[in-house]
Amino acid sequence: MIGAGPAGFYCADQLLGQGFEVDLYDVLPTPFGLVRAGVAPDHPKIKSVTRVYEKTAAKPGFRFFGGVELGSDVQREDLLERYHAVIYAVGTAADNKLGIPGEDRPGSHAATEFVAWYNGHPDFADHEFDLTASRAVVIGNGNVAIDVARMLVLDPDEVRPTDTADHAVAGLAAAQVEHVIMLGRRGPAQAAFTNPELRELGELARADVIVNPEEVELDAHSAAWLESEGEPTNRRNVEILREYAQRPPGSKSHRIELRFLRSPLEVIGDDDGPVSALRVMRNRIEPDESGRLRAVPTGEEEVIECGLVMRSIGYRGNPLPGVPFDERRGLIRNDGGRVTDEEGAPLAGEYAVGWIKRGPSGVIGTNKKDAADTVARIAEDVEAGRLNEPRVDDPEECHRWLSRRIPGLVTWEGWQAIDTHEQGLGEPQGRPRVKLVRVPEMISIAERRS
């Protein structure tokens, strides 16, 4: 199994239950994927799902190999020589692009990078975010956009007791952002937020939530859609937003404002200089031929002055060397979890699970069902004798091979040493942990136990 995030762990657990032995690989010395490096640090309850994964790791037949990159440290062919099944659970690490001028100018960031930075992902520990602007725009109407907007205005006293990386605790405390504008290209009825996350925006200690009443007046198409086909989540989102629109003006020092029906056209600034504004197009909602409600430009433009832009418009996968990839969808080419070639024929013993299989949607628990579907395909292939036939079928030899090849290989015991060390650093500060953000330091702590 390649990738020790939620999908990898749920899949590993179900395979262990079916009598398989599972080696779970990760490129980082630490497990848990987006639970460690994605879930917002002020949501410790969501992060506590790692206890479930720890139970999986304690089961006989489970091994963790951290610090192993597929494509550089080991190749797909190496794994197919050693395993009956190789399952890709690598998630979707890249960000979608807006494809507009100025997108990459200083002060315009992918939300993925900001999230990875405040969560202490080693690859982003040296990123610099200039948070001195007083107004920021967050583009996108999903839960990641909500996380980013909220983190920008949390009171430093709310950030300090969390496991936010130390560099980000300091960076966020010094931030001067007072006004965050969240932009949706479609309307309130089409927002991708889930209800608890949207509700939380209205309960922040030092930020008021602002929605102009005219922003939540629904067009006829959206009103009819909400009535007939809209999910309860969509209806409830609209209710919550209407409640926000009726709130009397607040007096908190910070504010998060939601604006809808606006698509970014250009990130404005001087020459190669930093962001000074965002030019947007006002949209209206219209159904396309399939009946899906889409944003259509009205021709009316606006300029929103701001010094920081966070682009939070979804993720896409990075291709893995040698593994069939659907460029259009940004996912591993697969049929219900079976990796397939260009013609759609399944490749023996190769599977996908989680976001790299179905796309970046749903909550953590969605990956449990997703894993069950892939494991059902594996079980069918076991029955039909369609698994891969490895040349080396010896788990001990596999461990020796990896240890020879990767000097800093981190086992589960090594991760437990890192975990204990981080928690020990956090304890005197009343924090769940202080995250290590340097891979060499993680490896040296892990080697005390590996």
Binding site for ligand NAP (CB under 6 A): 96, 98, 139-145, 147, 184-186, 190, 192, 194, 197, 263, 312-315, 360-363
Nearest approach, Cβ of 219 to ligand NAP (angstroms)? 14
Nearest approach, Cβ of 33 to ligand NAP (angstroms)? 12
Helix (H) or strand (E) holding 301: strand 293-305
Instruction: Please state whether beta strands 308-311 and 86-88 pair in parallel, antiparallel, or not at all (unpaired).
Output: unpaired
Instruction: Please state whether beta strands 325-326 and 108-110 pair in parallel, antiparallel, or not at all (unpaired).
Output: unpaired
Nearer to ligand NAP, 102 or 360 (CB): 360
Nearer to ligand NAP, 4 or 313 (CB): 313
Nearest approach, Cβ of 2 to ligand NAP (angstroms)? 21
Closest residue to ligand NAP: CB criterion: 142
Nearer to ligand NAP, 145 or 375 (CB): 145
Nearest approach, Cβ of 309 to ligand NAP (angstroms)? 12
Q: Record the tokens describing residue 38, joined without a space.
A: 């994605």
Helix (H) or strand (E) holding 85: none
Residue entry with tokens 């956090």: 426
Q: What share of the chain is helix, strand, coil (3-state, %, to 5)?
A: 35, 20, 40
User: Residue 198: exposed, middle, or buried by beta-carbon count in 10 A (0-12, 13-18, 19+)?
Assistant: buried
Q: CA nearest 131: which of 278, 306, 308?
A: 308
Contact 219, 169 (CB under 8 A): no
Nearer to ligand NAP, 218 or 387 (CB): 218
Nearer to ligand NAP, 35 or 68 (CB): 35
Nearer to ligand NAP, 190 or 334 (CB): 190
Nearer to ligand NAP, 352 or 402 (CB): 352
Helix (H) or strand (E) holding 448: none
Q: CA nearest 150: which of 106, 93, 215, 196?
A: 196
Phi, psi of 45 (to 5 degrees): -65, -40
Q: CA nearest 255: which of 201, 311, 174?
A: 201
198, 205, 210, 239, 287 from 243: Cα distances, Å: 12, 18, 10, 6, 27
Nearer to ligand NAP, 190 or 450 (CB): 190
